[in-house]
Structure 1
Amino acid sequence: MEKTETSINNNPGEIPMVGDHLALDLLNTEMRVGNESVDLWRSGEDVHAWLVRCGLLASASIAAAAAAAAEKQTLLRQARELRALARQLIEQWKNGQMGDVQPLNKFLDAYLSAPQVIPTDAGRLVLTRVAKADPVANLLGPVAEAVAQLLTDGELDLVKKCAHPECILWFYDRTKSHKRRWCSMASCGNRHKAAQFRKKVGTT
């Protein structure tokens, strides 16, 4: 079996961002390296770093402040629970089944917000919504909302898993032709080409 060339260490920045949808990037915080499944969320700090990369926290400093307010182990546990739930619901959806959405609704129920009028630097007023829930619910609420949005508004045929047999990453196919096959041409696409070339050379 061909081994992946991906190297994973303790740097959460290595989490692949190839899903083109927040709900699928959530699933991609687990990946396969060789024959092993690897959880790229090892700590609450890893979850915070991922939220920053997704644009859900403005900066690493805000993430650090949120980490001080939230119980890190609680965040890690609930983030993993949300990911497992999202994976189950999305896979069932892809198989033509309707999963139990009540656990997802519990995440959504916990994400409380209220409208607020806020002045901008340009001297204007804007209407926005400010999270009012506990810190962990505030952090995971937008992710749960993205999962709900995918299940209700997403196009089923455009939710795909990488075609490489050793890859478990997902993506939303936003290409014009809707013929995207790989999580990334630079990784799995090239691995497939290399394998096909070796097979061709071996038979000539």
Structure 2
Amino acid sequence: MLAPSQAFLQLADDRALDFVNTVTRTESGLYEYLQTDSDVVAWLQTMGFLDAKEQPAFRKGALVGAARHLRDTIKKLILQKKDGKRVDVAALNSFLSHARYHVNLVRKAHGELDVVHEYERSSPEQLLSPVAQAAAELLAAGDFELVRKCESDDCVLWFYDRTKAHRRRWCSMASCGNRHKVASFRARQKQAAGD
């Protein structure tokens, strides 16, 4: 079993991809990070989409259901774009149509000014609309040569390769990258022993 909600994966270098990565593979199979409405709220707070003090309440299960639907929609669109297919924008636009927000100019603690988009949050779809917007921006402006799935055969995670040389291959060097290195080392040792 994985750590509690506070240990959400943040390795994609893109919040929409981190949302897709809320389903991961473990030794015992796929693990679902978004099991309850509270998990979705915790993810939104962890990723900065929702203030830590906010605790929205909807009909039980409505938020997690909407979040999983949005995640599946985003993943489908990413796969379409990666495969060079026409991206079917209708489902994502359905989420975006719920977005209602206003813009404020606010003074931060150090006197700096910032533009803040304050979203309405009276429905699960409205609460998730900033995530849908992040996905729309990725699909419209992202360099999909740099949007990649981890090269490990048993990994399901995605990332945006923002490295200088654009040679990132693994979701994380600490997990899949390290496993690959160890397997390669063992294979070389085995081959050397057989020679």
For the criterion TM > 0.5, the same-fold answer is yes
Unpaired runs of 5+ residues, structure 2, are none
CA distance 1:23–1:125, shift in 2 (3 Å) = closer
- Is the 1:111–1:141 contact (alpha carbons within 8 Å) kept by the matching residues of 2? yes
Tell me the distance in 2 between the aligned counterparts of 1:125 and 1:185: 38
- CA distance, structure 1, for counterparts of residue 113 and residue 7 of structure 2: 38
Determine if the alignment matches structure 1 residue 79 to structure 2 residue 73.
no
TM-score computed with the length of structure 1 as normaliser: 0.85
1:31 pairs with one of 24, 44, 55: 24
CA distance in 2, matches of 1:124, 1:188: 41
**Structure 2-normalised TM-score?**
0.89
Provide closer, same or farther for how the CA distance between residues 202 and 148 of structure 1 changes in structure 2, counting only shifts above 3 A.
same
Tell me if the contact between 1:110 and 1:133 (Cα under 8 Å) persists in the aligned partners: no
Q: Does 1:45 align with 2:38?
A: yes
Equivalent pairs: percent with the same residue? 39
- Deviation, structure 1 residue 124: 8.3
Match of 1:156, SS state, is: coil
Do the aligned partners of 2:152 and 2:170 also contact (CA within 8 Å) in 1?
Answer: yes
1:102 equivalent to 2:71? Answer no
Q: CA RMSD in A?
A: 2.1
Aligned 1:123-142 pairs, distance under 5 A: 128-142=116-130
Unpaired runs of at least 5, structure 1: 1-6
Deviation at 1:14, TM superposition (A): 2.9
Please state if 1:171 is matched with 2:165: no
Tell me the distance in 1 between the aligned counterparts of 2:88 and 2:18: 21
127, 145, 148: which is aligned to 2:136? 148
Aligned-partner Cα distance in 2 for 1:119–1:193: 49
